[in-house]
Structure 1
């Protein structure tokens, strides 16, 4: 039973990031908020797919203020300050423009609660208002913080030593923008999150940073696992039984090593389902084999990971989390920093291997054989899955709203 609280107007804001995982997570939260009687409005970075997915469910949508210019020469920032810089936070006049847009949005909507899914400028603008603010996201979007943000390469001593200077570079521009808005200065860059309710949706072992403040609310991972095509595994003879060892791959066909990966999957004893968005029919014919099925549509992640022994991916946190909850061993090929941090966590947890970005001449058959022959990987993967038995992404929205309602109740007290 959830304690009844007054109906509230909740604004769900999304500003940064290119994938639809933000929208999926926001929808989980919005549905549960509405089920409990709250009024929800979405303010979205990308409205192009909002109609069927958000408006179609009866939610109101608005366009979020977003930063359009690209930095010609990004400075050498080593922590979350680099993310803020890419959102215009090094340009005082430009940032003031974003803050003005958010403040107009707040004046129009008059929210009782602002929930930010990777929307730092909205969080900054909200400091001029009295309604509570929550930040919801994975461990990259809601970063670890203390007096400064830790290094993205948290294992690198030189980067860690440069964190204070990185924060100071951005903070100077931020406070110039706030002064132009007649808004009090930010005492330190991490106050953006320290003064908000922070909710990290991630398995602890796979969160982007090893440690987060005790004030951070931890909930389960957020991803869609019950939509898409039912995986159809090719049948062929092999050591994994009559059909061989099942491998699920969610990869970009644009990756430089995609042909080499397909060659590795063609080896006897394996049978694979491969989702490679945008793969041409000609390339599929060239790289395919009887023991590989290319699936053009997204695949139901719950079924694919339940049946696979190995999962190959680019280390997006949703795919890695789904595979981890199913006890799969993993081979990850990250493409960018956020994925690389997840890949590091996969290796640190002992549940898989990572191919460093830019690697050349990787022996993929040997890596797959190592994942199968070294039982420490499967033991670690099964142990991690056992620690989180019963964790389901469809419950994450309930956990998030429980925390949000506690925040609302505290604010009304």
Structure 2
């Protein structure tokens, strides 16, 4: 049996861990030895509780980067803000990844948002898969496309940014003895496979050529929803802190519909101020399969996995994206007519957009159309399918 390494380097939330549990369970059942190098060990322990995996701290950039864009328009700028800003520091972190991977000596590495691990793997013989929801698996294209056209960057600046990130990546690769990149997209294109756990309609790169969409993993069991009292449609929220969240919560209280919210990192004082007879915060991770059987509307930060889960049940979504990645997910759902989006700096839009969602049936109808399109999709087979592909690549080594 084989030794297999999963990695997670960048990003926040359990969305970089929980989707892999079905695959890990299947591989363990088949006798494989699983290592997981994670950015957050606490979250790793919770996501894989009860499973005999080897848990490791992944290398990641913890010091400030310079330049730092704060608002990014292209994936190379995202890479810059994630540690590709200078060759010296990137080389150090790539070296740490190289030694971690070399020490474990796996047959294959599955990388979830781990671009520096991909740099190190350019100088290593292991099979490699990039796996994620789409945003972190960009297509191999030059130049990288503009993801946020409202930002005012000139084509010349974006070209310079991409060239600088490429030079930094090549310096790190060459320091490890790997073959340099001719273009930055090769880092994500020259792999043994790319596994996108999404659908084309919600892919951040909607016109991606030649992609295979694996669909979402099965939902992880959790606590049963405890709905508060109230009349009207049931509203479910999965929300983290963002600037206009108090406005959102106040409006939900004014409406008086039964509203259940799973809060992530929201200040307890705000939760206590806003909790009411019709608005409840349930702090245990919820069973989304149960929630979506009962909810009529979802209010989200447009995180991909929960957005897909709601749409596959025909539940329309009102979205408050907090990152470029989630903004692109929200834009795709809006294009389908299955939801609306409110930017974090538009508090006056909260009432209008929420009322539109509650007063019109068209958003629910479009969400149901999406659900009907994938009604026969077997999410429960996700772990088996990925495990089969992993074993296939190992056999072909």
TM-score, normalised relative to structure 1:
0.87
Mapped partners of 2:35, 2:107: distance in 1: 12
Are residues 1:272 and 2:264 paired?
no
Are residues 1:67 and 2:61 paired?
yes
Out of 308, 313, 327, the position equivalent to 1:340 is 327
Find the counterpart in structure 2 of residue 258 from structure 1. Answer: 245
- TM alignment of 1:98-117, pairs within 5 A: 98-117=93-112
Residues 78, 159 of structure 1: 8 Å contact kept: no
Find the counterpart in structure 2 of residue 246 from structure 1. Answer: 234
CA offset digits 1:157-215 (Å, max 9, x no partner): 9777865443212111222233333332111101011111111111222222212231x
Mapped partners of 2:172, 2:264: distance in 1: 41
Query: Following TM superposition, by how much is the alpha carbon of 1:129 offset from its aligned partner in structure 2, in angstroms?
Result: 2.3
Find the counterpart in structure 1 of residue 198 from structure 2. Answer: 202
Query: Following TM superposition, by how much is the alpha carbon of 1:326 offset from its aligned partner in structure 2, in angstroms?
Result: 0.9
Mapped partners of 1:78, 1:367: distance in 2: 26
TM-score, normalised relative to structure 2:
0.90
Query: Following TM superposition, by how much is the alpha carbon of 1:29 offset from its aligned partner in structure 2, in angstroms?
Result: 1.9
Find the counterpart in structure 2 of residue 295 from structure 1. Answer: 282
Q: 5+ residue gaps in structure 1?
A: 1-6, 239-243
Find the counterpart in structure 2 of residue 86 from structure 1. Answer: 81
Mapped partners of 1:46, 1:295: distance in 2: 23
Mapped partners of 1:115, 1:204: distance in 2: 21
Query: Following TM superposition, by how much is the alpha carbon of 1:312 offset from its aligned partner in structure 2, in angstroms?
Result: 0.6
Query: Following TM superposition, by how much is the alpha carbon of 1:382 offset from its aligned partner in structure 2, in angstroms?
Result: 0.3
Going from structure 1 to structure 2, the CA distance change for 1:374 and 1:108 (only over 3 Å counts) comes to same
Query: Following TM superposition, by how much is the alpha carbon of 1:393 offset from its aligned partner in structure 2, in angstroms?
Result: 4.6
Mapped partners of 2:74, 2:258: distance in 1: 41
Query: Following TM superposition, by how much is the alpha carbon of 1:311 offset from its aligned partner in structure 2, in angstroms?
Result: 0.5
Find the counterpart in structure 2 of residue 354 from structure 1. Answer: 341
Residues 221, 318 of structure 1: 8 Å contact kept: yes
CA offset digits 1:98-142 (Å, max 9, x no partner): 222222223222211111111111112112222211011111121
Are residues 1:19 and 2:5 paired?
no
CA offset digits 1:346-368 (Å, max 9, x no partner): 1111101000221132252x323
Out of 305, 311, 314, the position equivalent to 2:301 is 314
Are residues 1:180 and 2:175 paired?
yes
SS of 1:13's partner is strand
Out of 43, 57, 77, the position equivalent to 2:37 is 43
Residues 237, 262 of structure 2: 8 Å contact kept: yes
Q: CA RMSD in A?
A: 2.6
Going from structure 1 to structure 2, the CA distance change for 1:204 and 1:60 (only over 3 Å counts) comes to same
Residues 342, 350 of structure 2: 8 Å contact kept: no
SS of 2:19's partner is helix
Residues 279, 296 of structure 1: 8 Å contact kept: no
Deviates more, 1:319-328 or 1:273-282: 273-282
Mapped partners of 2:246, 2:99: distance in 1: 50
Out of 370, 373, 391, the position equivalent to 1:405 is 391
Mapped partners of 1:56, 1:101: distance in 2: 28
CA offset digits 1:34-70 (Å, max 9, x no partner): 2223222112222234445447411112222222221
Query: Following TM superposition, by how much is the alpha carbon of 1:335 offset from its aligned partner in structure 2, in angstroms?
Result: 1.4
SS of 1:389's partner is coil
Alignment size in residue pairs: 395
Find the counterpart in structure 2 of residue 118 from structure 1. Answer: 113
Residues 245, 269 of structure 1: 8 Å contact kept: no
Query: Following TM superposition, by how much is the alpha carbon of 1:281 offset from its aligned partner in structure 2, in angstroms?
Result: 7.0
- TM alignment of 1:158-177, pairs within 5 A: 164-177=159-172
Mapped partners of 2:234, 2:45: distance in 1: 37
Residues 208, 342 of structure 1: 8 Å contact kept: yes
Q: 5+ residue gaps in structure 2?
A: none
Mapped partners of 1:141, 1:46: distance in 2: 18
